[in-house]
A and B are shown apart, each in its own frame.
Chain A
Amino acid sequence: MAKFVSSVDFANPYFSVLLLFVIGVGMAVTFVFLSQALGPRRYDRVKYDVYECGVDPFMSASVRISVKFYLVALLFILFDLETAYLYPWAVLFRDLGWFGFAEMAVFLGILVIGLVYVWKKGALDWQ
């Protein structure tokens, strides 16, 4: 253990990274407890409002949002990332040659299977 502690080099440039880490965690913890300990607690009608310092609420905040949106968003991200891979390949298409083409064909082939799966499962139907 002594060996472990003595191995710490305070002059190291990375020491600041550690310091940042410690101060960051320390501040987060301190402020949570400080506001708990020092903060005044006055519970009145305004305090219990949905949004204390803004416009008066005019409807309930708990609106129902269709769960289907999550599926659409998820699929969008998935197939959107695919294009992120296509762009660099398209730029270097000539340099990569047929091997690059075959690699991309395999990649797209796997994605197509995914697309077919999603389609057949009915994830693309809104109903």
Chain B
Amino acid sequence: MALGNLASVSHFLPEFAVTATILLILVVHVAGRNRRSPAPAFLALVGTGAALLCAWLTAPAGAGTGLFQGMVVLDDFAVFFKILTALATIIVIFMSIDCVELQDKSQAEYYVFLLSVLLGMFLLASASDIVMVYLALELVSIPSYLLAGYLKGKESSTEASMKYVVYGATASGVMIYGFSLLYGMTGTTQIAEIGRLLTRGAAPLPVMLAAAMVTVGFGYKIAAVPFHMWSPDVYEGAPTPVTAFLSVGPKAAGFAILVRFFYTVFASPGAAGGTWALSSPVDWTFLFAVLSAVTMTVGNLVAISQQNVKRLLAYSSIAHAGYMLMGFVLLTSVGLEAILFYLVVYLFMNLGAFYVVVLVANGSRSEDISDFAGLGTRAPLAAVALAVFLFALTGIPPFSGFIGKVYLFAEVIHRGVYWLAVVAALNSVVSLYYYARIVKVMFLEGAKTETAPLAVPFVPRVMLTLLVVPTLLLGIYWEPIIRVAEVSVKILTN
């Protein structure tokens, strides 16, 4: 059963590590004079590393222990997402250190916001109470608004922040209305309890309303169509490392809570092992299948005409949310494993692509596709790395993105949702066009304005290599990650 407050403390180490780091950064910042000192970045790295390690050490969490009187739960599923988001944060911190755009901004606050989002993602991945879900979602969102508008002088950045706030406030308002309906029907805030009470027979209409309203909140977090409107503007205006962060971290955390919430509240373990059955009278899987198809189609089709690489990657990330949603609608543990595996692969290839965008934008101060012209000769390593990431994002065989897609497609076909598989396959073909366009510009078009070689310092060189290796390796040997994913979703079945 759920542990009390005092007994929970020892199971809460990753969150404590992040909180302590946030406070420490503020204290060090206040004590020191230099607002550009590298200390905050260093502290943030150490703190996030410690949090990752703590999460790792608690890894065989088994079926889960409720903490803080059932507010959060520590299980393998939560641990998986904690490690994933902490890893994303570490890579983003390195990216931020290398980003010229951010260098004349106050450093301490930036990392405080970044780690606050990380703390929110930890809580979101492990929330087991609707109050906690709401709180964690806001903890992810509010610092994200600040991060999106971190380049105060830049008009597009301020615009990004403003739009993000308006969309975010509306989405979470609708979501909490849905929560209130669920609470009204069951009289409890525990999501496991709500699920149990709903199976005992509930009126379909309020359940349907609640499900739809909750979908708004989570759909906004994972940027699924039609709740994606904020993302292109936010992704374009925000500082590039923040864009990279938002497209991976909060999206992963959003998937975590989406899966945990819907598979606990609106579904119950089915007769056959590793499957679920709809427990509520509402067939939300069909709704999400349609959302998935629309999301990937809109993302890919709009990406074609983009001239700004950040905006292009924004639409591409919308499309990827659509692919991942395919695994969500099947009500099988294999489908969920495919999502988890895809998230790991997506983390490396997407952050990698953004890393190169940061390096190029450092030189040109803009992110137009034309700025990438001649990158093949100006910075061969970065260009080859970006080509690898883009082909992986497309899902071409030797790269990890392919394996990720194979798992998703295979399970969709296995469960007989052929139309969705066809839509997804067609979408992959479309995506090849715009990914390959960047590769073509890099290698086949000569540099127009800037012809001098682009200097890539030592640290980004190492980081790019470290991101390319898993992108390639997971395309050849992916067994361990699938095993981890299997263990992580197992807890949801019982």
Query: Which residues of B sit under 8 angstroms from A120, Cβ to Cβ?
Result: 30
- The answer to the question of B286 belonging to the interface, with a C-beta cut-off of 8 Å to chain A, is yes
| Residues of A within 8 A of B (CB-CB), count | 23
B403 to chain A, nearest CB (A): 33
Judge whether B208 and A7 touch: CB under 8 Å. yes
A-side interface mostly: helix
Contact mask B23-43 → A, CB, 8 Å, 1/0? Answer: 100110110000000000000
Question: Which of B205, B206, B282, B286 has the most CB atoms of chain A within a 10 A radius of its CB?
Answer: B205
Other-chain contact of B206, A10, A14, A113 (Cβ < 8 Å): A14
Known: A1-B286, A7-B283, A99-B5. A113 touches B27 (CB 8 A): yes
Interface residues of A in 81-127 (CB under 8 A from B): 99, 103, 110, 113-114, 116-117, 120-121
C-alpha spacing A21/B204, complex, angstroms:
17
Contact mask B3-32 → A, CB, 8 Å, 1/0? Answer: 001100000000000000001001101100
Other-chain contact of B204, A8, A13, A99 (Cβ < 8 Å): A8
B451 to chain A, nearest CB (A): 44
Contact mask B258-292 → A, CB, 8 Å, 1/0? Answer: 00000000000000000000000111001100000
How many of chain B's residues touch chain A, expressed as a range? Answer: 10 to 19
C-alpha spacing A9/B208, complex, angstroms:
10
Judge whether B205 and A4 touch: CB under 8 Å. no
Contact mask B181-206 → A, CB, 8 Å, 1/0? Answer: 10000000000000000000001111
B-side interface mostly: helix
Query: Which residues of A sit under 8 angstroms from B283, Cβ to Cβ?
Result: 3-4, 7
- The answer to the question of B209 belonging to the interface, with a C-beta cut-off of 8 Å to chain A, is yes
A-B residue pair count with CB separations less than 8 angstroms = 51
Judge whether A113 and B26 touch: CB under 8 Å. yes
Judge whether B206 and A7 touch: CB under 8 Å. no
C-alpha spacing A3/B283, complex, angstroms:
7
Question: Which of A14, A99, A117, A121 has the most CB atoms of chain B within a 10 A radius of its CB?
Answer: A14
A28 to chain B, nearest CB (A): 15
Known: A3-B283, A116-B30. A14 touches B5 (CB 8 A): no
Query: Which residues of B sit under 8 angstroms from A18, Cβ to Cβ?
Result: 205, 209
- The answer to the question of A67 belonging to the interface, with a C-beta cut-off of 8 Å to chain B, is no
Known: A113-B23, A113-B27, A116-B30. A4 touches B287 (CB 8 A): yes
- The answer to the question of A17 belonging to the interface, with a C-beta cut-off of 8 Å to chain B, is yes
Contact mask B208-250 → A, CB, 8 Å, 1/0? Answer: 1100000000000000000000000000000000000000000
Judge whether A8 and B5 touch: CB under 8 Å. no
- The answer to the question of A15 belonging to the interface, with a C-beta cut-off of 8 Å to chain B, is yes
Known: A4-B286, A18-B209. A9 touches B30 (CB 8 A): no
Residue of A nearest to B23 (CB): A113
Judge whether A7 and B282 touch: CB under 8 Å. yes
A91 to chain B, nearest CB (A): 19
Judge whether B23 and A14 touch: CB under 8 Å. no
C-alpha spacing A108/B209, complex, angstroms:
40
Query: Which residues of A sit under 8 angstroms from B287, Cβ to Cβ?
Result: 4
Judge whether A117 and B205 touch: CB under 8 Å. no
User: Can you pick out 5 interface pairs between chain A and chain B where the beta carbons lie within 8 Å of each other?
Assistant: A4-B283, A17-B206, A18-B205, A21-B209, A116-B30
- Chain B: residues with CB nearer than 8 A to chain A? 5-6, 23, 26-27, 29-30, 181, 203-206, 208-209, 281-283, 286-287
- Chain A: residues with CB nearer than 8 A to chain B? 1, 3-4, 7-10, 12-15, 17-18, 21, 99, 103, 110, 113-114, 116-117, 120-121
